[in-house]
Structure 1
Amino acid sequence: MKTWTVNDVMTTAVVTVSQDTPYRGVVDLLVSNRFSAVPVVDEFQRVIGVVSEADLLRKIEYAGAAAPRLFDGRRRRGERVKATARTAADLMSTPPVTVLTNTSIPAAARLLDGEGVKRLPVVDDLGRLVGIVSRGDLLKVHLRPDDQIQADIETGVLRPFLADEIETVQLTVADGIVTYTGRVDRWSTTDIVDRLTRQVAGVVEVVDKLEYDYDDRTILGTGMAYGIA
């Protein structure tokens, strides 16, 4: 079963800036392209930082502000430094939040949410920029046609795990919602099929109407694994 990764949905034509790009140059780039942030790369295309709209707004936020106070916290001092920045090197946030190539889409989604960012530079093992992935890019998996989703389920779930019972199971996919009907030998089979199906890219929900001949939950016990992730 194919596992979709950031490679399948990322944008590869990435706009970047260098460390010496001036403040107004970064502003012009973000505004003209309607970006919320831009990666900063070195001469080897390694991502060394990210400049966001929030970083740029410090110059407006602290315009005419009083001199720094002794009890200003580390974050406030950093913001004041950015307010006086002239180049991307002084504006950028470091270390950058990046994601490696071939990272799964669920893992990338968790990182975006956990770090509170809207997009992630995608880098190779050497930290070199190869693409960028946004929240919208991750949602592309749910634009997959139903027939493609169904084909993936048939080849990646039903044939490997229900080879002996595939004739007794019916599958339909409508707007990403997968519905199973029919009959299998035991409850654990329905559980495996349900969990594997939810991992198929584009699946919105699984409606399990499968009946079974034998309830093996008491034998398996709580938390029993079936050799799948």
Structure 2
Amino acid sequence: MLQKDLSLANRLISALPAYERAMFIEHSELVELKPQTVLTEAGQLSEHAYFPVEGFVSIILPVEQAHAPGLGIALVGNEGMCHTSLTLGVEISSFTSLVQGAGRAFKIHRNALRLRRTEDACLRTVLHRYVDVFASLMAQQAACLHYHTVPQRLARWLLMTRDRGHSRELFLTHETLGLMVGVRRESVSQAASMFQNNGLISYSRGYLMLLDEARLEAQACPCYRADLMAYDRKLTQPLKALEDNFPGGPPRAGAALF
């Protein structure tokens, strides 16, 4: 598949008018995302932003406790981007970005992204709206950790992984699940065993299959639906209008979008 066709697989890039999309691709590079690759460590300079077209990345907050190397706060697939702080001009990452699902992504250098943001009003708006969505997801995660049970949170993260990996087949260790759910390995193992005994999932040696997605959604906390609604409310409908608003090419920098 050509790069210009792959660009349509990322929701943020595909939301741009054709001209701006072509300019973005011209300044970016299509790269492979290999599982367990660290794109950026927390506290380090983010050299690039990544826009996945396949696969997905865990966004991890470091935690200074022996039993908890970090806490998963978000998953990024083809609906978004990694290193959102670059859209605000902040180049030191607050989080660690760890590839969980193999695939490809468009990688753009921070300087090139700054240039495109300056020149492309549509891209600027798309990125700012995604940052707003990302902030909403982190707030939702904080509430989820406080109010919801381990099984509810596990069901939510399994569904999120399915959505971003576009598959019912998942490759996740208990350690990874614990990182995502925010509990020790033993606690997430108990919840996973309960799901397996009830026929919701099949799990063995890091291979996990979702057997009954409807029942798993019923088990998930309300945060799963709230996350989907945040995307639909703040991204899907507004972004669909961008192409229609500017069929003849990009607006000048600083021009009003709506």
TM more than 0.5: no
TM-score by length of 1: 0.26
Greater RCO, CA 8 A, separation 6+: 2
TM-score by length of 2: 0.24
Question: Which entry has the higher C-alpha Rg, 1 or 2?
Answer: 1
